[in-house]
Structure 1
Amino acid sequence: MFWLLGAAFLIAFLYVFSSILLPFLAGMVLAYFLDPVADRLEKIGLSRTAATVVILLAFLVTVTLALMLVVPVLSNQLADFLVRLPDYLSRLQALITNLDPEWFEQVLGVSEQELREGLTALLAQGTGFVATLFKSIWTSGMAIVNLASLFVVTPVVAFYMLLDWDRMIERVDSWVPRDHVETVRQIARDINAATAGFVRGQGTLCLILGLYYAIGLTLVGLNFGLLIGFFAGLISFIPYVGSLVGLALSIGVAVVQFWPEWYWVAAVAAVFFSGQFLEGNILQPKLIGRSVGLHPVWLMFALFAFALLFGFVGLLIAVPAAAAIAVLVRFALARYLQSPLYGGESSGTSADRELP
């Protein structure tokens, strides 16, 4: 009952205050992400305060350089892309419908006019869905006040959270009932392993993939290659979605830009396929491994569900919440399999057997 009431209170709290929680949650995520770096700096002789100051100064310098050098370029490409998007869609539609109208009519049973109308309706629906999605995210979690406070409040929250992280963990551990402290610690370790494996590992992987796609597409000469590459890399935390969206966008732009020089289109596709090979065979085993324990379907459901309930804030808490729920479900299932309810009264009490 205690944990159920605690979960209900947390959900209600997030629902009521989701519009102002973004900078605080971002600071907590940042502190959690950088805590291992602070621990390593402490081992080489720095105090916790000095380590925290060094880390946050380095982080702020990196973010400032990115804002000065990368963000203006991406902003210009985004503005140019939005202006040229209708023309790109029209030209892509014309290329598709002009390939072989007779083949479409014989094989698919649709005329050229029907195909044009269908593609127009499909493109309009897709554009409307994307616009609605971004508008929903903006109004629910990325309001102007939140965006401004993100650059003011987040560094302050991250500093104090990173400074007091170990003390907070020790304090919370001291509140756990002593009869159950080892069980709770093991559950917490499992949740931390799943969350850290994804947040730290997948976060680093997304940054590397974003750089790889952006540099590769730019070298190929694709229009908006930097924008599409970074976007595809940064949304790669959603399994398969980042690579598929990036591939579709880049192939669409490449067909309009390079056709009939098909080998440039193949070069754009090769950038993404090589990126997937790099991710699956090198980056993911090294950075994430098999310790995450989050099924891709469960992860995608959690991301969509929490985004629907809490907006952009929900995206920040979806992964740790999904990891915690998965660990608790596995723990409850292990308890059930060791209980008389599963094995019958003749199998003894659960206290007489060890959990796997």
Structure 2
Amino acid sequence: MADTRRWVWLGGVLLVCGFVYLLHPILSPFLVALLLAYLFDPLVDRLEAWGLSRTWGVVAVFALFTLIIMALLLVLVPMLAKQLLRLYELAPQMLDWVQHTAMPWVQARLGLADGFWKFDKVKAAISEHMGQTTDIVGVVLSQATASGLALIGWLANLVLIPVVSFYLLRDWDLMMAKIRSLLPRNREEQVVSLAGECHEVLGAFVRGQLLVMLALGMIYAAGLMLVGLELGLLIGLIAGLAAIVPYMGFVIGIGAALTAGLFQFGGDLYPMIGIVAVFMVGQALEGMVLTPLLVGDRIGLHPVAVIFAILAGGELFGFTGVLLALPVAAVIMVLVRHVHDLYKDSDLYSGAEDPDL
């Protein structure tokens, strides 16, 4: 009977996994809505503790979130658009600088043969691609309108996310209570304890790591703009987003900033020192203040595991998979930790003989 129950549970898990995989093209807005509901549930709970009803707490949180999004659209997006257009204008000049200055210098130092880079073909391909339109907005619009059905589906998902998030957030506590009431009575405490540990790890990552990324993006962008780098805002925000993988934000950010600074400032040493100082300060703040304060040591995912999780999530579920990859990996890590503990306590590990043999 016990073996039968195990096979039933295994079959149910496999059925759910197959169901999710087959329907993942339409699950993206629901997964994003679930993530948003999980993020905002503690805030709504706090508003409830202050005397607001659950519904009005959700309305207040959505109003605040909408105001923040509108402020970003009105302030940040135009600044980023200007920098993207500036990058578009500078791209041919940067290609010329790489071809006529940077590559000859590297070629002379390494003793490479003439024509080793075949850069003329690369430049021609990039220039041809860029010359197909006059502005970046035109590229985006042409891609977005290439398929009317795809555009309609994208807009429908965009509208569906806040609607689903609202109802999930309003009924979150009820759903958790329903799920707990369905747990096997003899396993309830064990499952609740395991879920609590997963919740602790998820909270540390989803809330903590996103705050670290936001803080680093602001530090890098503000610092680079103070140094006078034209593309400082764009590079700083990209470095902050890349900080989802340990040290990747620092490597990508300082590499892009030094390249842009070398092209903009030429041989001026002080702005380059300023760029390096910005990233050194950001890295020091991340290691000594931001990560210990906001995340702590409760995740413990190896950088290789982080990279694999992001690539696997993107391959399976696209952009939504990238968003959910590390939270899912954190939960899997908790489960693997418990399986490891069970294995260390088992007769298989200790080498004890089976009494039935």
TM-score by length of structure 1 reads: 0.84
Could you say which residue in structure 2 is the equivalent of 1:65?
71
Gaps of 5+ in 2: 1-6, 130-139
Cα–Cα, structure 1 residues 150 and 250, in superposed 2: closer, same or farther, change >3 Å? farther
For the residue of structure 2 that corresponds to 1:311, the secondary structure is helix
Q: Within the alignment, does 1:173 sit opposite 2:188 as a pair?
A: no
Structure 1 CA distance, aligned partners of 2:205 and 2:120?
Answer: 38
Matched, 1:27 2:29: no
Superposition map of 1:79-98 within 5 A: 79-98=85-104
Deviation at 1:123, TM superposition (A): 12
Correspondence for 1:243: 250
Report how many residues are paired.
Answer: 331
Distance 1:87 1:321, change over 3 A: same
Distance 1:283 1:123 in 2: 44
Higher relative contact order (CA 8 A, sep 6+): 1
**What amino acid sits opposite 1:317 in the alignment?**
L
Shift of 1:346: 6.2
Query: Is the contact between residue 299 and residue 319 of structure 1 (CA under 8 Å) also seen in structure 2?
Result: yes
Deviation at 1:176, TM superposition (A): 0.9
Counterpart Cα distance in 1 of 2:258 and 2:272: 6
1:44 counterpart residue number:
50
Larger displacement relative to structure 2 (54-63 or 229-238): 229-238
Where 2:25 maps in the other structure, the secondary structure is coil
Cα shift at 1:16: 2.5
1:213-252 alignment, distance < 5 Å = 213-252=220-259
Residue number among 308, 312, 319 corresponding to 1:305 in the alignment = 312
Q: Could you tell me which residue of structure 2 aligns to residue 11 of structure 1?
A: 17
Partner Cα distance (2:104, 2:317) in 1: 45
Q: Does 1:323 align with 2:330?
A: yes
Partners in 1 of 2:241 and 2:157 — Cα distance?
A: 19
Task: Check 1:46–1:185 CA distance in 2 against 1; reply closer, same or farther (3 A cut).
Answer: same
Decide which of 258, 269, 285 is 2:292's aligned counterpart. 285
Amino acid at match of 1:206: M
Contact 1:97 1:115 in 2 (8 A): no
Q: Is the aligned partner of 1:272 residue 2:279?
A: yes
| Residue 288 of structure 1, CA deviation | 0.3
User: How far apart are residue 122 of structure 1 and its match?
Assistant: 11
User: What whole-Å deviation, never above 9, does each CA across 1:237-292 have from its counterpart, x for those lacking one?
Assistant: 12222221121111111100001102211211211111111111100000000112
Inter-partner Cα distance in structure 2 for 1:207 and 1:62: 14
Which string of whole-angstrom CA distances, capped at 9 and with x for unpartnered residues, describes residues 144-188 of structure 1? 345423541111111111111111111111111111112211221
| Cross-structure match for 1:354 | none
Q: Distance in 1 between matches of 2:51 and 2:354?
A: 54
Report the secondary structure of 1:238's partner residue.
coil
Return closer, same or farther for 1:222/1:120 CA change in 2, 3 Å cut-off.
farther
- Give yes or no for contact 1:232–1:245 (8 Å, CA) kept in 2: yes
Give the RMSD, CA atoms, in angstroms: 2.8
- Could you tell me which runs of 5 or more consecutive residues in structure 1 were left unpaired when the two chains were aligned: 129-134, 349-356
Instruction: Evaluate the alpha carbon distance shift between residue 203 and residue 10 of structure 1 in structure 2; reply closer, same or farther with a 3 A threshold.
Output: farther
Alignment equivalent of 1:149, drawn from 140, 151, 156: 156
Aligned with residue 203 of structure 1, among 210, 223, 227: 210
Q: What TM-score do the two structures reach when normalised by structure 2? A: 0.84
Once the two structures are superposed, residues 86-144 of structure 1 have per-residue CA deviations (whole angstroms, 9 ceiling, x without a partner) of 42133134332354765x1xxx3324x2455479869989xx9xxxxxx9xx99xxx63
The question of 1:332 aligning with 2:334 is answered no
Q: 2:4 matched to which residue of 1?
A: none
Distance in 2, matches of 1:184 and 1:100, equals 59
